[in-house]
Amino acid sequence: MLTTKVFWLKLLIHLGALLPLVNLYYLALSDQLTADPVEAVIHFTGIGALNLLLLTLLVSPLSKVSRQGFLMKTRRLLGLYAFTYALLHLLNFLFFEVQFDIALFVGEIVKRPYMTVGMAAFVILLLLALTSFDKVKRRMGKSWQKLHNYSYLAVVLAGVHFYWSVKSEIIEPGIYLLLTLALLSLRRDKFRRWFKRKG
């Protein structure tokens, strides 16, 4: 019973994450996705990554409040899709925006603070994805949790990256930052414990 619930939920996550991508790239490759498909795929994957990151952060409080522990079994999958979207976001920028101009690519990441911040968020997600396998988790022991706590930093950096990237329309990124703060505030006890230990 429980395993079927998890199975269907995971299937739903796979479909919910993959179908939009199939649709996105089909439309973009056939020049049917707005007048500037490059901008469209970059925005879609970027905001998609942020949505998935927030969903990942929602899993643990939701399973606690609803007392549905099985929900926790979907967290890694959601996190990995957040990473996948972030990876595509970065690759879209490299392939389609700067079109393999590696000097420009590196230059922009170093010179534009909002890109540096976004790249930092991506590096964190990359490390979390690489250490997401059970084998690695077991081998890492306690340090695994320490590393994976950096997901909180990643989501904040991603939100700042978004906020900083827009010209003036700050309402949408503002909403994302508020959602992030709300989800992190659910973990205030955890943060308090860390600071106590250090202080």
Partner 1 sequence: MLIKIPKKSELSENQVTQESVYLQRRQLLRGMGFIGAGTLISSALSSTAHGGVFDLFKKEEKPVFPLKGLSYSALADAENFPEKLTPEAKVTSHNNFYEFGAQKHQPAELAQGFKVNPWQLKISGEVDKPMTLDYDRLFSTIALEERIYRLRCVEAWSMVIPWVGFPLAKLLKMVQPNSRAKYVAFETLHDPEQMPGQSSRRLGGGIAYPYVEGLRIDEAMNPLTLLSVGLYGKTLPPQNGAPIRLVVPWKYGFKSIKSIVGIKLLEKQPPTTWNLLAPHEYGFYANVNPEVAHPRWSQASERRITTGGLLARNRIETLPFNGYGEQVAGLYKGMDLRTFY
Structure-block tokens of residue 77: 């999958």
Question: Which amino acid appears at position 186 of this protein?
Answer: L
Select from 50, 70, 51, 52 the least CA-distant residue to 60.
70
The residue (of 15 and 136) whose beta carbon lies closer to partner 1 is: 15
Question: By the criterion CB under 8 A, which residues form the site for partner 1?
Answer: 19-25, 28-39, 41, 43-48, 50-51, 96-99, 101, 104, 107-108, 111-112, 114, 164-165, 167-172
CB 113, CB 164: distance < 8 Å? yes
The residue (of 1 and 35) whose beta carbon lies closer to partner 1 is: 35
Select from 170, 164, 130 the least CA-distant residue to 148.
130
DSSP letter at 96 equals I
The residue (of 167 and 196) whose beta carbon lies closer to partner 1 is: 167
CB of 186 to partner 1, least distance (A): 21
CB of 103 to partner 1, least distance (A): 10
CB 44, CB 38: distance < 8 Å? no
CB of 119 to partner 1, least distance (A): 14
Q: How far is residue 137's CA from residue 154's CA, in Å, rounded to a whole number?
A: 19
The residue (of 136 and 178) whose beta carbon lies closer to partner 1 is: 178
CB 48, CB 56: distance < 8 Å? no
CB of 68 to partner 1, least distance (A): 20
The residue (of 50 and 78) whose beta carbon lies closer to partner 1 is: 50
CB 72, CB 10: distance < 8 Å? no
CB of 85 to partner 1, least distance (A): 9
